[in-house]
Structure 1
Amino acid sequence: MMTSLVGQHVDALDTPALLIDRKVLLGNIEVIGASLRKLGTAWRPHAKAHKSPSIAHLLLEAGAHGITCAKTSEAEIYAASGIRDILIANQVVGPIKTRRLAQLARQADIAVAVDCLENALEHDAAAAEAGTSPRLVIEINSGMNRAGIDPGDDTVELAKRIVALKHVRFGGVMTWEGHTTTVVDPAAREQAIHDSLAPVLESVLAIQDAGIDVPIVSCGGTGTFRTTAGIEGVTEVQAGGGIFGDQIYRALGVPVQPALSLLVTVTSRPAPDRVIIDAGRKSLDPTAALPEVQGLSNVQSMSFSAEHGIINLSAPTADVRIGDRLQLLIGYSDQAVHLHEQFFVLDGNTVSSVWPTWARGRLQ
């Protein structure tokens, strides 16, 4: 931990260093939170991007009623920090994993996604052994064609079978309509979201018609929540990464600003039109979205090897020198944060906090 840097100027940081602009971060949280409050939909932000209990608690203070995780090991970190309402939005399969989750249910009110009876039975057996009662949430395929049971009769039957189990609780349903974010036209994207969620919500009504309560209907990431949260029947959204104002979300029209950046040092100027920096793929993964270089208007292209970033300029310049520092606005936080041990939180140019990313590397 580098808490000794608190109170110092940003220039005291070694590079690469992952920075959060506190004012912008809080502004983004308020934008998302205010939108959801207006629509009357609960917020269960996904924690897979930020990896930080400090941020998770900040979101709870801002009105979130729980969090979403990707893995049981992530959930363990957040439960240890005092968070109690946690949804693991993935299938947790096999005796090693289900026993681990059942034990975690001693510390927190855990919900976990299932999409078949076999997995539900595994959880029931593990819960019986541990003496706990985790919630099972049925993941429904809304068109992304990743995990998830088909909507309709199959979903209703699975809900009935879960309700009949003795050691788990039926928690509701979830889906992720992520495929709709590839629709470029905003109006067509909005319609695609409605079309994707319609069969899911019809399944919810069918489950309720069978006399089964559906407490959770969880959908919506940052790229879709402004539409999803306004659809009748949706109880909560999982939008989380948008708090950083990633470029991929701003490109979808989400009204957030960039709060996350990588401070880097120029290490070489081998040509007047090329800048080499000390951050490569071990500092950020540009696969989903390239970062944006602040203060350089003539960037033509960027590429990354393991330890180096290469910035090619459209015209020669002597303005950037070896030892200068640049800030790269992160394109997609999911593919950067997990590579760093902490965030350096800035108020202006002063380091005001250091927030560890305790949940990084938690892959099980």
Structure 2
Amino acid sequence: MTLDQIETPAALIDRPRMMRNIERMQTHMDGLGVAFRPHVKTSKCVQVARAQRDAGARGITVSTLKEAEQFFTAGFSDILYAVGMVASKLPRALALKRAGCDLKLIADNLESANAIAEFGRLHGETFEVWIEIDTDGHRSGVKPGEARLIDIGRALNQGGARLGGVLTHAGSSYELNTPDALAALAEQERAGCVHAAERLRHAGLPCDVVSVGSTPTALAARHLEGVTEVRAGVYVFFDLVMRNVGVCDTADLALSVLTTVIGHQADKGWAILDAGWMAMSRDRGTAKQTHDYGYGQPCTLDGAPLEGYALAGANQEHGILASTGQPDTDIAARLPVGTRLLILPNHACATGAQYPVYHARSGEGRIEVWERFYGW
């Protein structure tokens, strides 16, 4: 298969770039002396997860129980379901456990902790549960110093459940863009999660695992004393948001969308593509960053960016490629109908989610089709 034989739009993985990204993260984690548990929600692809495991990753993180089921079927057994558990989902978690999956759940409130423990006791099972810690006010979790942390820990230590550890995600790192700021947040993330673990242990509760992570803080961390594992996901592909954060270069982005020029509005300086927001997603994560890429950065087929151009607009199936400066009234001659381009995405997770398969391209130009999981 060649690029010319792929119907557009299509999601392409640059395998050499992906492998360099995997090696970079794993080497950094090995140097810091911690286990690495990749978040496979970015790719939702067995071949990608296997490459991460082969490089040294231990276990995986998932964002849906369907991912857990599909990756378990594919041979992954050490799985963290990193979204707060609710009672209605416990039967699926039970089925995974009884099938042999080493599934870990998370909770950040007493109601969920009690529901997990009660369900476990009712079915003669013990669920391993980690408490989610809020170290940056970004989203979910218990603050490290809150009194209810101990109450949740005790609820998970009375049969039906077992307190396995604590975890946190410094998602506010996506809002930063300097090495010093990222390093400071990485330390805040580490210190907060370790403090929560120490409080639980001081209360006589077990807390074996201290799990931290986001792609920016994982790469910015200078030491991880007290941490047992790190989680990160988007690093495997990177994207334009991460490029603005400063943890990668454009040449590191391993996911792109293959698209075709289907027309022009020459007076406006537009080239019309067959990749709209259904192909790229509606994620405009770079809009508030230092460089706004619109809906994506156009590139030639060899991955070289078309400097001064962006996917400036998008309808459902139409993308508008335009100059970021003065309108390019010669764009029809520069990019004639039928021209194929690559578009680098703002958010690799969101763009990947638009496709049932990836087309993975090797350095020699060989292309393989890799299936992608989807749904909940």
Provide the TM-score with structure 1 as the length reference: 0.91
Task: Name the CA distance, whole Å, in 2 between partners of 1:103 and 1:339.
Answer: 29
Equivalent of 2:299, from 283, 291, 294? 294
How far does residue 237 in structure 1 lie from its aligned partner after superposition? 1.2
Unaligned runs of 5+ in 1: 1-7
Q: 1:105 aligns with which of 97, 105, 111?
A: 97
Aligned partner of 1:74 in structure 2 is 67
Query: SS where residue 321 of structure 2 aligns?
Result: strand
Q: Which of 322, 338, 341 is equivalent to 2:337? A: 322
Q: What percent identity do the matched residue pairs reach? A: 30
Instruction: Work out the CA distance in 2 between the residues paired with 1:103 and 1:84.
Output: 13
Q: Which moved more, 1:188-197 or 1:150-159?
A: 188-197
Q: C-alpha displacement at 1:35, in angstroms?
A: 0.6
Q: Deviation of residue 199 (structure 1)?
A: 3.1
CA contact (8 A) 1:24 1:258 kept: yes
Q: 1:336 corresponds to which residue?
A: 351
How far off is 1:138 after superposition?
A: 0.2
Q: Deviations over 1:145-200 (max 9, x none)?
A: 42112222321332123112x12221100111111332333213322332344333
The two structures, once aligned, show a CA RMSD in angstroms of 1.9
Which residue identity is paired with 2:272? I
Higher relative contact order structure (alpha carbons within 8 Å, sequence separation ≥ 6): 1
Whole-angstrom CA distance in 1 between matches of 2:75 and 2:125: 18
1:54 aligns with 2:43: no
Q: Which moved more, 1:198-207 or 1:294-303?
A: 294-303
Residues 58 and 43 of structure 1: CA distance in aligned 2, closer, same or farther (over 3 Å): same
Q: 1:300 to 1:18 in 2, by over 3 A?
A: closer
Paired residue secondary structure (2:320): strand
Q: Distance in 1 between matches of 2:217 and 2:238?
A: 14
Cα deviation per residue 1:128-157 (whole Å; 9 max; x = unaligned)?
344432210000111224211222232133
- Could you say which residue in structure 2 is the equivalent of 1:160? 154
Q: What residue in structure 1 maps to residue 290 of structure 2?
A: none
Q: How many residues align?
A: 352
Change over 3 Å in CA distance of 1:131–1:350 after alignment to 2: farther
| 8 A contact 1:220–1:228 mirrored in 2 | no
Q: Report how far residue 228 of structure 1 moved.
A: 4.0
Distance 1:21 1:83 in 2: 24
- Aligned-pair distance for 1:56? 1.4
8 Å CA contact retained: 1:156, 1:203: no
Distance 1:226 1:244, change over 3 A: same
Q: Which residue of 2 aligns with 1:133?
A: 126
Q: Equivalents in 1 of 2:311, 2:39: separation in Å?
A: 32
Contact 1:36/1:229, CA 8 A, preserved across alignment: no
Q: Runs (4+) of structure 1 moved beyond 4 Å?
A: none
Shift in CA distance, 248/204, structure 1 to aligned 2, threshold 3 Å: same
Per the normalisation by structure 2, the TM-score is 0.88
Asked if 1:43 is matched to 2:47, the reply is no
Please give the alpha-carbon distance, in whole angstroms, between the structure 1 residues aligned to 2:55 and 2:233.
13
Q: Which residue does 1:271 correspond to in 2?
A: 266
Is residue 41–residue 229 contact of structure 1 (8 Å, CA) maintained in 2? no
Task: Give the drift of 1:90.
Answer: 1.0
User: Could you tell me which of 221, 224, 229 is aligned with 1:231?
Assistant: 224
Tell me the alpha carbon deviations over residues 295-323 of structure 1, each in whole angstroms, 9 at most, x when there is no partner: 43331661111111001224222121111
> 2: CA distance between counterparts of 1:252 and 1:246?
10
1:112-123 to structure 2, matched below 5 A, reads 112-123=105-116
Q: CA deviation at 1:213?
A: 2.9
Deviation at 1:75, TM superposition (A): 1.0
Q: Which runs of 5+ in 2 are unaligned?
A: 287-294, 301-305
Contact kept, 8 Å, 2:136 with 2:170, in 1: the verdict is: yes
What is the deviation of 1:291? 1.6
Alignment counterpart, residue 210 of structure 1, candidates 203, 210, 216: 203
Report the secondary structure of 2:279's partner residue.
coil
Q: Distance in 2 between matches of 1:230 and 1:219?
A: 12
Change (3 A) 1:323 1:175: same
- Distance in structure 2 (CA, Å) of the matches to 1:209 and 1:301: 54
State how far apart, in whole Å, the 2-side matches of 1:264 and 1:149 are: 44
**Which position in structure 2 is the counterpart of 1:84?**
77
Secondary structure of the residue aligned to 2:39 is: coil
Is 1:143 the counterpart of 2:136? The answer is yes
Aligned residue identity for 1:284: M
How far the C-alpha of 1:348 sits from its partner, in A, is 3.5
- Aligned residue identity for 2:40: A
**Which residue number in structure 2 is paired with residue 347 of structure 1?**
362
